[in-house]
Structure 1
């Protein structure tokens, strides 16, 4: 009798676990490419906003809005400069963005095109963002030319966020799964 009960219990548990994994797989596959056209509000050097939420440009990391670069008399507001450059790049132009994945904060990860050009590549090329793998050639050119953040000392944006405490509440892997399944809202 005990053996039969354990066998039934194990079978039900296995079925429930497989069903849960299947639901996760379906939800992850259901992510469709989202395409949208501007205008967009520029939040900072790598984040845009629409009525439906925030968009995060992929392939780069721009200085945070309150971040400064340089030293001594050559300190400048590199975070503000990145946002201003992105605003100027997008202003009064045909902007198209597309993406399918979201980051841990619920922002849609997008690549954008402005009149056929990539604004993220332009930011990296002008030394107003670092490459996170996609724009290595543009970063090398900015470094070589000592343009923007490469003209003096600076903290990488991720290091600055960590030091400033902006990354103190990183969602757990369980929170990320719950968000992807639509069971809870994203952490701001």
Structure 2
């Protein structure tokens, strides 16, 4: 019976290099998972884009845990439709007008906007937007939403689509309050998958 030919020195060296790359990437992934991102402070005057998005020092900031109506979105029933998207924007503008806003970063969304909880003084902007019926709870602030619903404030005064449903029916991108994988993370994961494929073919 013929014995398999021994591997060449080059093949063995290639195997060792691939193993080192693989285990190095695994170590990087473990370090990335174990490391908790520190909250990054953003402070200054704010420009309001819509009911849940601000700009401070050219940084786009998405208010985490809430979802406000889109700018073109209307609420209520004909003929008494209200432009609830514009009303939410105006409500947030009043809250931040002529004062400093402080935001605590808690990740990024898939549009690379900062996800944050923002404050004017001691007032939590995320919470107050939900509590006054200008946004719905989207992962957080369920207690504030109960208050708004009970008092029929803002969008709760009449029928409305959730912002997520409105975006879906109007073919607009669905947003998320949860951090998405960064480009670096996706690249590392892709390389790990590639190395796994190579190792699977060798071993």
TM class by smaller structure:
0.7 to 0.9
- Distance 1:22-1:136 versus aligned 2 partners, 3 A rule: same
Question: C-alpha separation between the residues in 1 aligned to 2:121 and 2:143?
Answer: 21
Question: C-alpha separation between the residues in 1 aligned to 2:74 and 2:84?
Answer: 5
Question: C-alpha separation between the residues in 2 aligned to 1:103 and 1:150?
Answer: 27
Question: C-alpha separation between the residues in 1 aligned to 2:44 and 2:98?
Answer: 9
Question: C-alpha separation between the residues in 2 aligned to 1:44 and 1:169?
Answer: 13
Structure 1 stretches of 5 or more lacking a match? 184-188
Residue 105 (structure 1) shift: 1.0
Question: Which residue pairs with 1:77 in the alignment?
Answer: 83
- Matching residue within 121, 134, 140 for 1:134: 140
Residue 133 (structure 1) shift: 2.8
Cα RMSD, aligned residues only: 2.9
How many equivalent pairs are there?
A: 179
TM-score, length of structure 2 as denominator length: 0.76
Question: Which residue pairs with 1:17 in the alignment?
Answer: 22
The C-alpha deviation readout for 1:118-157, integer Å capped at 9, x for no partner, is: 1111111111100013211110011111111111111111
Contact kept, 8 Å, 2:45 with 2:101, in 1: the verdict is yes
Question: Which residue pairs with 1:186 in the alignment?
Answer: none
- Distance 1:169-1:58 versus aligned 2 partners, 3 A rule: closer
Residue 3 (structure 1) shift: 8.6
Three-state SS of the structure 2 residue aligned to 1:72 is coil
* Structure with greater Cα Rg: 2
Contact kept, 8 Å, 1:68 with 1:76, in 2: the verdict is yes
- Matching residue within 82, 86, 93 for 2:92: 86
